[in-house]
Amino acid sequence: MNLLFGRIPRETDKTYWEGYTFEVVDMDNTRIDKILVSYVEPVVEQTEE
């Protein structure tokens, strides 16, 4: 996680990677206790004909 954030994250920090959102939910000092991982649906734009 430190590589994705580029630093030690804090609670509520979010980052995006390859279609997924990673949110730090709980920390114990500098240790991450819980992470919420969510898949983000790609946005497909429709063109009008």
Range of the domain at 28: 2-39
Question: CA-to-CA distance for 2 and 5, rounded, in angstroms?
Answer: 5
pLDDT at residue 20, as a whole number: 94
13 burial via Cβ count (<10 Å: 0-12, 13-18, 19+): middle
Q: How many domains does the chain have?
A: 1
Instruction: Indicate whether 13 belongs to any domain.
Output: yes
Instruction: Indicate whether 20 belongs to any domain.
Output: yes
Instruction: Indicate whether 14 belongs to any domain.
Output: yes
Residue identified by tokens 């994250």 is: 9
Per-residue pLDDT of the chain (49 residues; tens, 9 = 90+): 888 888 889 999 999 999 999 999 999 988 999 999 999 988 788 777 6
Q: Is 25 helix (H, G, I), strand (E, B) or coil?
A: strand
Residue identified by tokens 């709980």 is: 26
Instruction: Indicate whether 44 belongs to any domain.
Output: no
